A and B are shown apart, each in its own frame.
Chain A
Amino acid sequence: MAQTTHGVGGLSYDAKKRTWPAEFNVFLALIILVGAFELIGRVFLGDSFLFNTRANVDTIFNEARLQIIILQVSIVGIIAIGVTQVIISGGIDLSSGSIVGATAMIAMSFAQVATVNGNPNPKAVFLAQGWTDLPVIVPVLVAIGCGLLAGLVNGSLIAYTRIPPFIATLGMMVTARGIAKWWSKGQPISFPTESFAAIGKGLMPVIIFISLAILFQLILSYTRYGKHCYAIGSNEDAARMSGINVQNHKILVFVIAGILASLAAVVLSSKNLTAQAGMGVMYELDAIAMAVIGGVSLSGGRGSIIGTVIGALIFGVIISGFTFLRLDAYYQEMVKGVIIIGAVVLDQWRQRLRAMRA
């Protein structure tokens, strides 16, 4: 029974001819990539990429490797969630990496212990004010405040002065990096409280990443906010004529992206037990790359968080795979670049094919 009667007005359509969701192709690419590493490993190294080969461990998969794959992308992945909704609504965010740097410095200053080995904490920024050993909620709220402010500036610039998102967030990228360096005159800030350090411990980054990913996938699919993201990204004029408050929506999109970047900063500085002015350099591009590999269209209107998560996993697999094959880290960067270009070319190719069939 190929013909169904789902069509309206007596027209029927062939349900079998429905195209796969875009995420399926990305997932296929992930599997092919893992398969390729597995094959190369077996043939050239006599080792398995994915499966456990040690006799003393009783598991099927190489769990340590799987954890590393997802752990190393989960922090940039948090940023990528925010970047995804920005790109879907037709914008771009180059400032997220610098927001991570600035937020990490500022938030870490509010997460300091008073004494280290019996001596006053030499790195504490607010030692004189006595702002030490604060409850963990303080640095987290400070971080969220920083992200919110940065996003508000980004969004307002784009919505009210109508400068392109590329330029507005480029300005924020440079400014926020400047703030990160100025905050402690380039000095790293270390010695966080135990409760702050717990945020990024072990697999916590993964848990936070996955929870946020699920939350935002639901928001994009089931709420008015999500629907308007796609509408504005695919036809801004139509959205405006339909009565959507495009300006307010754009501001909210960038505020959320800023907050997600600041949450990534909290997790990162907590995991590293230190904050440095250079934290998060290039994260914005990695985040954009994850989204693009995951099928998010740079022209807006298309993509999903699920796609971005798979895109992030592809990233993780490449990094782990190159380590597994004992290849230089330099090659990772080169191959990353090729994969980003390849993903966009493939996506446009697929779109053209679909358009021809329709």
Chain B
Amino acid sequence: MSDIVLKTENLTKYYGGVHALESANFELRKGEHVAIMGDNGAGKSTFVRQITAVEQRTSGKVWFDGKEVNFAGPIAAREAGIETVFQNLALADDLDVPSNLFLGREKVLFNLGPFSILDRKFMRKATEAALIRTAVKIPNLNNTIRHMSGGQRQCVAIARTATFASKLIIMDEPTAALGVQETMQVENIIRTLKANGEPLILISHNMRQVFDLCDRIVVFRRGRIVANLRKQDTDGNDIVSYITGAKTGEAELAA
């Protein structure tokens, strides 16, 4: 089973008395795009926060890239190859596109500690290449993020993720705040990632989007995984009944 990128076993998170996530067993294979669905408060974001080590889990085990991992924090997770596009975009508004893409991992010409000279040409070229690879359209790389539309910002955030994620990309509702055309642009980027064989976890409320982009759908309800279905084995109504609890999965029956 060497093609498993990410695996969790009995992943659990309690906030005091609140059981936000209980015994989540999850698997992601190479090149696979998996959607996570569920109502607000179902435990989707909690699940992602345990994987990316934004929070420390209460119990359970996580394997990433063949090894059992205990990331100390989000930076350690990122260094291991897990990139996340956050709901609140982690971009610096007053910097241009290359600076944002390379934020915190600037390429330097000479290493002089904090006063290392930046290799601006290289970063600009690499940014152009990254944007072309992910099919992101930005009119002017020198514009600051502040002067860009929501869609363009999201595209920059995704392009950054895609440029550096060697192993796994997680997107938390990447199109929630976007217009129709901007959503299409983001979806095209995700398709490009799929074509490049990059594994992805997509949290989304958008049923059409999920069926368009993902191979498998995992449904969370009340902190548990209640369904884990391949796209061709299910349909929208089926998923909705799992989300609302009209239909219950094996996980809940077993409990």
Residues of chain A at the chain B interface (Cβ within 8 Å): 6-13, 18, 219, 222-225, 227-228, 230-231, 233-235, 237-239, 241-244, 249, 252, 301-302, 354-355, 358
Contact = CB atoms under 8 A, between A and B. Distances in A.
Given A224-B115, A238-B91, A7 B138 contact: yes
Contacts of B120: 222
B93 A235 contact: yes
B133 to A, nearest CB: 10
B192 to A, nearest CB: 11
B48 interface: no
B72 interface: no
20 contacts: A7-B140, A9-B132, A9-B137, A18-B140, A222-B118, A224-B106, A225-B115, A230-B92, A230-B99, A231-B95, A234-B94, A235-B90, A238-B90, A241-B75, A241-B90, A243-B78, A249-B114, A252-B114, A301-B94, A301-B95
B148 interface: yes
Contacts of B91: 235, 238
A6 B112 CA distance: 32
A241 B93 contact: no
B82 to A, nearest CB: 13
B136 interface: yes
B141 interface: yes
B95 A8 contact: no
Contacts of B146: 355, 358
B137 A10 contact: yes
Interface SS of chain B:
loop
B69 interface: no
A235 B89 CA distance: 10
Contact of A223 (B88, B118, B147): B118
Nearest to B108: A224
B104 A8 contact: no
B100 to A, nearest CB: 8
Contact of A224 (B95, B118, B140): B118
Contacts of B148: 358
A242 B141 contact: no
Given A6-B140, A8-B141, A358-B149, 4 more contacts: A18-B140, A224-B108, A230-B99, A239-B92
B116 interface: yes
Given A222-B118, A225-B114, A233 B94 contact: yes
Interface of B: 74-75, 78-79, 86, 88-95, 99, 103-106, 108, 112, 114-118, 120, 128, 131-132, 135-141, 146-149
A223 B104 contact: no
The 8 closest A-B CB pairs, nearest first, are A242-B104, A301-B94, A9-B137, A234-B94, A243-B104, A13-B139, A358-B147, A242-B103
A354 B94 CA distance: 13
Nearest to A242: B104
B118 A8 contact: no
Contacts of B75: 241, 243
A7 B97 CA distance: 12
A234 B100 CA distance: 11
B92 A231 contact: yes
Given A222-B117, A230-B94, A358-B147, A9 B135 contact: yes
Contacts of A222: 117-118, 120
Contacts of B92: 230-231, 234-235, 238-239, 301
Contacts of A230: 92, 94-95, 99
Given A224-B106, A238-B103, A11 B139 contact: yes
Contacts of A18: 140
B99 A227 contact: yes
B140 A13 contact: yes
Contact of A8 (B74, B78, B112, B131): B131
Given A222-B118, A243-B75, A227 B106 contact: yes
